[in-house]
Structure 1
Amino acid sequence: MAVSVQSLLEDISSIEDPIEELQSLKTALLSIPVGALRDSVSGQRLDVIFALLDSNEREQVELCVDILERILTALRPSYVVQNYRSELQRGLTHPNDTVKILALTQIARAVRDPDAGTEILNNHGILHQVILCIKEEKMAVAKQAIQTLSKLSHSKSGLDKLFQSDMLKVMKDVMATSDIIRYRIYELVVEISSVSPISLGYCANSGLISQLLNELTGDDVLIRATAIEMVTSMADSQHGRQYLAQQGIMDKISNMIRGAELDPFSSLYLPGLVKFFGNLAIIDSPQQVCESYPAFQNKVFEMALDPDPAMAGVALDTLGLLGATVEGKQVFQKTGETFRDVLKKMSQLASSGATELRVRSLDAISQLLTLQPEQQTEDLLALTESWFQLLSKQPMEMIRDISTQPFPELYCGALRIFIAVATQPWGQKQMMRTPGFMEFILDRSTGQTKEAKDAKFELVGAFVGSSTAAQTLGSQHYIRLKTYLKEGPYYVSAVAAVSTEGAE
């Protein structure tokens, strides 16, 4: 097969219209396992394929890209850089985006290799061009450039090159292109800063993070909204959160939430502010965040009651996120009547809101009601039962009614609530007291999509796995549920075909 590849390369070099031969070479390469490909192509010059990239013939260029991607990926990064450094650099300025992405992908491979990475770091022209690729119109090219530079920054030498050389000026010049490009550089900086406290230090010392944080209170609300997303990503790491706290960003965002009522455009960035604290609460502590920044919790409740679907949707997601934790449940319970009003609103949205809001409301309710076996203390069981009763005068029937509507996502959302309460003794008792409920669970004709069948199977598993189920449900129901579980989620009972003699 090595001879075949070599002969095909030779044939291509002497043909004016090489499309057919390029296709044959691509087919030949795909037939060789990647592990064996390195031996087949090592030592063979690929100049002819690189040369054929300089064409206006799209099919030819794309075939060459496929061939080069297959071969170069099989070769060691150091070999690729040593032999095709100039070809990769030219690829970064090629008019075809797939060629740029090929070059960026190979450079990204190289920077992870100790030997090849050093050569890339010492090549001013390649690094300069990679940074310029961030402002390419095609987002896929910009993303690959960002990933390449992010990988480069995983070493101290890479950080030095990006932030303590003239490359920093190149980045700042690229930022000046437009608002969109500026945020691509911010995205790169945030990604780099998340790696370690050391990388965060380089980013902070460059002045780029301070510039990003100043955007939080800029005049352009759309830019402000994007800045909030970036800062939220920074808070994913512990060292990022510590830095933001030291810079007073948590207090600044809390004040922005308070001041949102006076801003007619706050709906554009307010969801981002709430998401910031929601993520912070899950990572750190719901109680600590809600107590330290009461404006956040108050705004979530206010948004849940807001007629604007965008506001209500974010609030529902946040309530579910926090309420999935025991600490979050206890924080909500302390607010008394305020949260009970929110819970009633969630029930109304689940019953009669727009479909997307109904699904998000059902998901949030299921998270609020979920208790793991080790969490089922007397107090917490009493709490979830009281919340369930607030949903409706007949909450079991209400949720079951939602599940009978012809929307698979509502069916699954309703079943997730049943799954939440099926492991709790009070939930099992209520289900048993609800006429026809066990028949509903055992009826395989409801919910015909894969997701619906999986949800029903999970509900049955929640019942059977509960330590109190056998006693609460009675032996007959318990045995039928165990049989359902044994048969699996997609079981179909055999139906005997009946024919009538002489029927037309």
Structure 2
Amino acid sequence: MAASIEERLSALTGSAEPMEELRTLKTAALALPLSALRERAPHMRLAAIFSLMQDSDKEQVALCVAILERLLQASEPLHIARNYREELQRGLYHPEDAVKLLAISQVGRIVESSEAVTEILNNLELLQQMIVCIGGDKMAVAKEAISSLSRIARSTSGLQLLFGSNLLADLRAVMAVSDIVRYRVYELVVEISSISVESLSYCASCGILSQLLEELTGDDVLVRVTCIEMVTTLAGTLHGRQYLAQQGVIDKISNLIVGADSDPFSGFYLPGLVKFFGNLAIMDSAQQICEHYPAFLRKVFDMAEGHETTMIGVAVDTLGILGSNMEGKQVLQKSGIRFIHVFKRIGHHAKNAPTELRVRCLDAISSIMSLPLEDHTEDLLAMAESWFRGLCPQPMEMFRSIASQPFPDLHCGALKVFTAVANQPWAQRMMIDSPGFVEYIVDRTVDQDKDSKDAKFELVKALVSAKTTAEVFGNQHYLRLCAYHREGPYYVKAVSTVAVEGAE
């Protein structure tokens, strides 16, 4: 089969009717495993297929793309760079997006190879056309170009070329095409900035990053939404957060939260602002963020107690993130009665809101209520119990009711809450005092789907692993839980059949 591929590649040269040859070649290329193709790749001559791909016939072009995707996948990047660099460059000018995608993806492979990357860095025209592709109509082409260019910027030489040569002017030129394309260039710059301190320095020096940050506080609300998302991405790295703090951007975002009450359009960008600070609180210090930017937590509480479903969902998610670690829980505790009211409101939504919001509330409750064994001090256990009891008059019965509903998302969400508190003695006492609770846990018939079975097993595992379960539940119940745990989540009890003489 490999020999026939080489023969058919040769037969394509000068063929007057190449379509049938291309179809056969495609079948042969896809039939062979990559390992076999890799052995033959250095001997394959693909120039004829690249030449046929320049045709205007869409079917012919599609066949050529499919064949080249397969055969180039089997070729080493250095081999492609040295033998087909010009063909890839022509592909970037092709009217068909599939050809552009093929060319850009191969360039991306080449720049990831330390041996081959110089072949691309020495070709300024190819890089210029890559930048032009960012401004194309097809989003998939632009995304691939952004990805490949960001890979080029992983080396110092790549950074110098992108931001210290005429390519910077090309980037600025493509930014002028439209607002959408400008955002794409911002996306590229943020992606590069996130790589390292050095890459951030280059992006800051070229001025494009500063332009992005200026638009954050501009008058265009929709632009602000996009910029907040990108700034949040940049804040995902330590050097990115340090840069944003130095530039006063975090203070500006805090001021935007403060001013949101007087802005009728704040609903568009406020969720992004809250998510930004929520991420900061998790990555750095929840206590420092909430103390230094008190407007953040106040706004989250306001949103949670409001009537806008979208805002409630964002607030609930943020509180779940904030309360997922010990420092965040202490921040919530310090907020006093305000958090108690908000948490009760979340409990109300967990029972009465539309399904999607109920699931988000259950996730947040389980995150906030979890307490690792090493944090089981008398004060923290008392805090957790007071929060749980404050959710509603009978929280255990409420979650039992939700867990019994025939909706997997809600069923699993309620089980996650039980799992979160399963290692806490006060919660175990509430469980054993709830009639039929242990029977419900070990009843396999109530969990029909895989996710439900897995969620139930996690609860059983948490109870079996807890030090106080045997004492609180009693030996008989504890042994039943151990048996369930030993059998695993998917155990099915064998049913024996008795043959009756004379039965058909």
TM-score, normalising length: structure 1: 0.97
Instruction: Give, in angstroms, the shift of residue 260 of structure 1.
Output: 0.3
Matched, 1:393 2:363: no
Question: What's the counterpart of residue 299 of structure 2?
Answer: 299
Determine helix, strand or coil for the equivalent of 1:445: helix
Instruction: Give, in angstroms, the shift of residue 63 of structure 1.
Output: 2.3
- CA–CA distance in 2 between the matches of 1:97 and 1:131? 15
- CA–CA distance in 2 between the matches of 1:164 and 1:467? 62
Number of equivalences: 504
Structure 1 residues 356 and 499, CA gap change in structure 2 (3 angstroms) = farther
Instruction: Give, in angstroms, the shift of residue 14 of structure 1.
Output: 5.1
Alignment check: 8 A CA contact 2:93 2:100 kept? yes
Alignment check: 8 A CA contact 1:2 1:41 kept? no
Alignment check: 8 A CA contact 2:348 2:392 kept? no
2:330 corresponds to which letter in structure 1?
Q
Instruction: Give, in angstroms, the shift of residue 497 of structure 1.
Output: 5.6
Instruction: Give, in angstroms, the shift of residue 66 of structure 1.
Output: 2.0
- CA–CA distance in 1 between the matches of 2:3 and 2:437? 71
> How is 1:312-331 mapped onto 2 (pairs within 5 angstroms)?
312-331=312-331
Q: CA RMSD in A?
A: 1.8
Instruction: Give, in angstroms, the shift of residue 446 of structure 1.
Output: 1.2
Question: What's the counterpart of residue 142 of structure 1?
Answer: 142
Question: What's the counterpart of residue 94 of structure 2?
Answer: 94
Instruction: Give, in angstroms, the shift of residue 313 of structure 1.
Output: 0.5
Question: What's the counterpart of residue 250 of structure 1?
Answer: 250
Q: Which runs of 5+ in 2 are unaligned?
A: none
- CA–CA distance in 2 between the matches of 1:114 and 1:365? 49
Instruction: Give, in angstroms, the shift of residue 381 of structure 1.
Output: 1.0
Instruction: Give, in angstroms, the shift of residue 8 of structure 1.
Output: 1.4
1:350-379 deviation digits (Å, cap 9, x = unpaired):
000011110000000000100111122221
Structure 1 residues 498 and 339, CA gap change in structure 2 (3 angstroms) = farther
Alignment check: 8 A CA contact 1:81 1:116 kept? yes
- CA–CA distance in 2 between the matches of 1:443 and 1:137? 56
Instruction: Give, in angstroms, the shift of residue 38 of structure 1.
Output: 3.1
Question: What's the counterpart of residue 224 of structure 2?
Answer: 224
Instruction: Give, in angstroms, the shift of residue 26 of structure 1.
Output: 2.5
Question: What's the counterpart of residue 182 of structure 2?
Answer: 182
- CA–CA distance in 2 between the matches of 1:433 and 1:501? 50
Instruction: Give, in angstroms, the shift of residue 160 of structure 1.
Output: 0.7
Matched, 1:447 2:410: no
Determine helix, strand or coil for the equivalent of 2:54: coil
Matched, 1:262 2:236: no
> How is 1:174-213 mapped onto 2 (pairs within 5 angstroms)?
174-213=174-213
1:92 corresponds to which letter in structure 2?
L
> How is 1:359-438 mapped onto 2 (pairs within 5 angstroms)?
359-438=359-438
Determine helix, strand or coil for the equivalent of 1:269: helix
1:295 corresponds to which letter in structure 2?
A
Question: What's the counterpart of residue 488 of structure 1?
Answer: 488
1:471 corresponds to which letter in structure 2?
E
1:54-79 deviation digits (Å, cap 9, x = unpaired):
23433332221121122222222222
Structure 1 residues 331 and 65, CA gap change in structure 2 (3 angstroms) = same
> How is 1:262-301 mapped onto 2 (pairs within 5 angstroms)?
262-301=262-301
Question: What's the counterpart of residue 68 of structure 1?
Answer: 68
Instruction: Give, in angstroms, the shift of residue 211 of structure 1.
Output: 0.2
1:205-264 deviation digits (Å, cap 9, x = unpaired):
000011000011111101001101111111111111111111111111111100000000
- CA–CA distance in 1 between the matches of 2:10 and 2:260? 69
Question: What's the counterpart of residue 118 of structure 1?
Answer: 118
- CA–CA distance in 2 between the matches of 1:64 and 1:168? 34
1:116-152 deviation digits (Å, cap 9, x = unpaired):
2112111111000000111122211111100100000
Alignment check: 8 A CA contact 2:2 2:32 kept? no
Q: Which runs of 5+ in 1 are unaligned?
A: none
Determine helix, strand or coil for the equivalent of 1:493: coil
Structure 1 residues 501 and 389, CA gap change in structure 2 (3 angstroms) = farther
- CA–CA distance in 2 between the matches of 1:61 and 1:390? 66
Instruction: Give, in angstroms, the shift of residue 390 of structure 1.
Output: 0.6
Alignment check: 8 A CA contact 1:203 1:209 kept? yes
- CA–CA distance in 1 between the matches of 2:479 and 2:22? 65
Alignment check: 8 A CA contact 2:457 2:488 kept? yes
2:432 corresponds to which letter in structure 1?
M
Question: What's the counterpart of residue 42 of structure 2?
Answer: 42
Instruction: Return 42-51 or 290-299, whichever deviates more.
Output: 42-51
Question: What's the counterpart of residue 332 of structure 1?
Answer: 332
1:380 corresponds to which letter in structure 2?
L
Q: Percent identity?
A: 58
Give every structure 1 segment of 4 or more consecutive aligned residues whose post-TM-superposition deviation is greater than 6 Å.
498-503
Alignment check: 8 A CA contact 2:42 2:79 kept? no
Structure 1 residues 18 and 488, CA gap change in structure 2 (3 angstroms) = farther
1:52-108 deviation digits (Å, cap 9, x = unpaired):
212343333222112112222222222211111111011112122121111011111
- CA–CA distance in 1 between the matches of 2:361 and 2:266? 23
Instruction: Give, in angstroms, the shift of residue 6 of structure 1.
Output: 1.3
- CA–CA distance in 1 between the matches of 2:336 and 2:499? 65
- CA–CA distance in 1 between the matches of 2:502 and 2:4? 69
Determine helix, strand or coil for the equivalent of 1:95: coil
Instruction: Give, in angstroms, the shift of residue 16 of structure 1.
Output: 3.9
Alignment check: 8 A CA contact 2:2 2:36 kept? no
- CA–CA distance in 1 between the matches of 2:351 and 2:502? 51
Structure 1 residues 386 and 77, CA gap change in structure 2 (3 angstroms) = same
Instruction: Give, in angstroms, the shift of residue 34 of structure 1.
Output: 2.6
Question: What's the counterpart of residue 23 of structure 1?
Answer: 23
Determine helix, strand or coil for the equivalent of 1:128: helix
